[in-house]
Amino acid sequence: MTRHVMVADLRRCIGCQTCTAACKQANATPPGVQWRRVLDLEVGEYPNVRRVFVPTGCQHCADPPCEKVCPTTATRRRPDGIVEIRYDLCIGCSACMLACPYDARYKTERREYGFGEKPTEDEAMRADDSLLGVATKCNFCADTVDAGVARGLTPGEDPEATPACVNSCISGALVFGDIDDPKSGVSKLLDENKHFRMHEDLGTDPGFYYVWDQDLP
Amino acid sequence: MTATVRGAPRLQRSWDSRAACNFICGGAGTGLLLAAAAALPSGWPYAPAGVLAFALIGFGLWMVWLEIGRPLRALNVFFHPQTSWMTREALLALPLLIIVGAAILLDQRIVPLPFKTHGTVIDLAWAGAVLGLAFLYCQARILTASKGVPAWREPSLQSVIVITGITEGLGLLLLLGLAVATPPSWVFAAGLVALAARAGAWEYYRRRVAAGAPATATAALNRISSPVHLLGHVLAAVLLIVALITPTPVLPAAGAGLALVAVGAWLKFTVVTRAAFTQGFAIPFLPVRGRAGS
């Protein structure tokens, strides 16, 4: 079996938001929609204050609550672990947005542009009305992954089969791959380091891991 | 380093007052179907209550239709009965409205039939009441299936929604007493039992939310709790007791009905639109920086 997951090494993330920008460029998402975003959390009290950068987005859960509540079957989990939305089925009821504990879904009712009322040339070219009035979210760049796999490439190792956010990460904080393959980069990283998943107590079995320390003997 | 770091929850804006309307009107309408079916043996006519319940349930569904992003694809809502409570609610709505409509037509003898129809009306009314309760239960489960909203996923919200719907239904029947006929006295007693159950369910739910949901959600519920108890429970109980002992119970009963319905609507509106803060983000460990390899 294959389960594609993402690992964010919190020790490496510097909060540069390059992954956010790369995702927006790759998926042409409108203003305010960030399928990949990086939280900038403040910890402690003055003068002992730290910032922690936490990449987040759809966690591609193995037991996704968004899939259960979807009345149309638009949201479904693929055999390779990627949770996708079939935009032609979605009615935009927003039930999935409220079922997601990771605040990963968005709904845009009308076209919006980054620089005023009129679209830029690029925005006009890439505008996709099928994404209006429906729920949208990160799909681990499934088209890229599928195209790469079809060419015999390995997601997470070959950039042409890897999500844009991972390819763009300047510090190597984001890693992608098949957790069911013990030789994959994500499996090795998780074997060698302490990690956690967000809101594990909710039983969603998320496919997004956070590394926070070495696994010292 | 162990420490739970949290990102602030935010108030959800995906479901607004239109969605709240479905829970308010659907709950009250289905509750009224139950009360109307139970009142039939006492000689109460079915049609006034049936028409009002039909209109409320239909209005609630219409408001939801106005809220969805792709209303022309609304029929896709029927595709996922395996796990979606929204699909199940939609599947129940169809036979529910047909059965209630048929009961109204027969009760009013709009369609002349060569046999006595009263027994059929009673059967249809009870079928409508049972389907209505199932519809109401689906609404409760829609909310508790929303894992991203701690105040909704609390399981005790199910009993709040179901009991509130039944209470509102009794309240509407008491209000209809102003226009139709004096409600049977068992309705006053049933109202007392229902409001006591609602008060208990609300208090339990509120405490459970306080134990596990964001403080902002708890604050939203706490803000309305005292007036909910005073108007919806204490005042309504006093009026129902007056109705039970007075020879002219219509006015105090209607006052109690108004309090039961209004407070039920207020309570659900608050839960859906004011206490619906998202889960927020939390990391249980801080990254350890500065070691070799990190």
* Band of pLDDT at residue B108, cut at 50, 70 and 90: confident
Beta strands in chain A (DSSP E): 4-9, 36-45, 48-57, 75-77, 83-85, 106-107, 135-136, 174-178, 193-196, 208-214
Which letter does DSSP use for residue B8 in this model? P
Name the stretches of chain A with pLDDT < 50: none
Residue A24: other Cβ atoms inside 10 A: 21
CA neighbor of B103 nearest in space, from B89, B122, B116, B88 = B122
Residue B290 lies in a domain: no
- Check pLDDT > 70 for residue B253: yes
Residue B30 lies in a domain: yes
Predicted pLDDT of residue B114: 65
Residue B122: other Cβ atoms inside 10 A: 16
Do residues B168 and B56 make contact, with C-beta atoms less than 8 angstroms apart? Answer: no
Which letter does DSSP use for residue B40 in this model? G
Say if the Cβ atoms of B5 and A98 lie within 8 Å: no
Predicted pLDDT of residue B111: 66
Q: Give the C-alpha distances (Å, rounded to integers) separating B64 from A166, B68, B187.
A: 39, 6, 31
**Least CA distance to A57: which residue of chain B?**
B281
Predicted pLDDT of residue B189: 96
Say if the Cβ atoms of B147 and A52 lie within 8 Å: no
Say if the Cβ atoms of A52 and B7 lie within 8 Å: no
Asked if the C-beta of B109 comes within 8 angstroms of chain A's C-beta atoms, the answer is: no
Task: Give the DSSP H/E element, type plus range, for residue B2.
Answer: strand B2-7
CATH number of A4-214: 3.30.70.20
What is the number of H-type helices and E-type strands within chain B? 10, 2
Asked if the C-beta of B3 comes within 8 angstroms of chain A's C-beta atoms, the answer is: yes
Structure tokens at A157: 């190792």
Domain boundaries, chain A: 4-214
Please return the burial class of B191, using the count of CB atoms within 10 Å of its CB with bins 0-12, 13-18 and 19+: buried
| Alpha carbons A167 and B183: distance in angstroms, whole number | 71
**Count of alpha carbons within 13 angstroms of residue A42, beta-carbon side:** 6
Residue B2 lies in a domain: no
Taking a contact as any Cβ pair under 8 Å apart, which residues of chain B between 145 and 174 contact chain A?
145-149, 152
Structure tokens at B270: 């608050």
- Report the CATH number that the domain containing residue B190 is assigned in CATH: 1.20.1630.10
| Alpha carbons B293 and A45: distance in angstroms, whole number | 28
3-state secondary structure of B124: helix
B8-24 pLDDT tens trace: 899 999 999 999 999 99
| Alpha carbons B233 and B253: distance in angstroms, whole number | 13
Tell me the residue type at B166: I
Predicted pLDDT of residue A161: 98
Q: From the list A9, A99, A133, which residue is nearest B148 (CB)? A: A99
Chain A neighbors of B69, CB-CB under 8 A = 90-94, 107, 109, 132-134
Asked if the C-beta of B22 comes within 8 angstroms of chain A's C-beta atoms, the answer is: no
Could you tell me how many CB contacts below 8 A there are between chain A and chain B? 165
Structure tokens at A126: 């890439």
Report how many domains make up chain B: 1
Structure tokens at A46: 């003055």
CA neighbor of A35 nearest in space, from A20, A18, A25 = A20
| Alpha carbons B161 and B141: distance in angstroms, whole number | 9
Asked if the C-beta of A198 comes within 8 angstroms of chain B's C-beta atoms, the answer is: yes
Torsion of CA A17, A22, A23, A29, to 10 degrees: 100
Asked if the C-beta of B116 comes within 8 angstroms of chain A's C-beta atoms, the answer is: no
Task: Give the DSSP H/E element, type plus range, for residue B188.
Answer: helix B185-212
Residue B285 lies in a domain: no
Beta strands in A35-173 (DSSP E): 36-45, 48-57, 75-77, 83-85, 106-107, 135-136
Q: Give the C-alpha distances (Å, rounded to integers) separating B106 from B88, B102, B125.
A: 28, 6, 11
- Check pLDDT > 60 for residue B292: no
Calculate ∠ Cα B93-B127-B26, nearest 5°.
35
Tell me the residue type at A109: E
Say if the Cβ atoms of A11 and B278 lie within 8 Å: no
Distance, CA of B252 to chain centre: 24
Predicted pLDDT of residue B228: 96
Residue-by-residue DSSP string for A179-195: TTSTTSHHHHHHHHEEE
Do residues B103 and A110 make contact, with C-beta atoms less than 8 angstroms apart? Answer: no
How far separated are the first and last CA of chain A, in Å rounded? 30
Chain B neighbors of A95, CB-CB under 8 A = 84, 86, 142, 145-146
* Band of pLDDT at residue B288, cut at 50, 70 and 90: confident
Q: How far is A103 from chain B (nearest CA, A)?
A: 7
Q: Do β-strands B281-285 and B2-7 pair in parallel, antiparallel, or remain unpaired?
A: antiparallel
- The percent of residues above 70 in pLDDT, for chain B, comes to 94
Residue B44 or A207, more confident: A207
Q: How far is A148 from chain B (nearest CA, A)?
A: 30
Structure tokens at B88: 């199940």
Query: Which residues constitute the domain of residue B31?
Result: 11-278
Residue B287 lies in a domain: no
Say if the Cβ atoms of B294 and A134 lie within 8 Å: no
Predicted pLDDT of residue A121: 93
Q: From the list A97, A101, A214, which residue is nearest B279 (CB)? A: A101
Residue B132: other Cβ atoms inside 10 A: 29
The mean pLDDT of B82-102, rounded to a whole number, is: 97
Chain B neighbors of A56, CB-CB under 8 A = 281
Give residues with Cβ within 8 angstroms of B24, minimum separation 6.
Answer: B60, B264, B265, B268, B269
Task: Give the DSSP H/E element, type plus range, for residue B281.
Answer: strand B281-285
The mean pLDDT of B233-255, rounded to a whole number, is: 95
Tell me the residue type at B141: R
Chain A neighbors of B280, CB-CB under 8 A = 103
Q: From the list A41, A94, A212, which residue is nearest B288 (CB)? A: A212
Q: How far is B219 from chain A (nearest CA, A)?
A: 20
Residue B3 lies in a domain: no
Predicted pLDDT of residue B124: 95
The mean pLDDT of B189-204, rounded to a whole number, is: 97
Predicted pLDDT of residue B3: 59
- Check pLDDT > 70 for residue B153: yes
Residue A85: other Cβ atoms inside 10 A: 23
Q: How far is A38 from chain B (nearest CA, A)?
A: 11
Residue B267 lies in a domain: yes
Say if the Cβ atoms of B74 and A91 lie within 8 Å: yes
Predicted pLDDT of residue B7: 75
Predicted pLDDT of residue A43: 86
Inter-axis angle of helices B157-176 and B250-269, nearest 10: 150
A127-140 pLDDT tens trace: 999 999 999 999 99
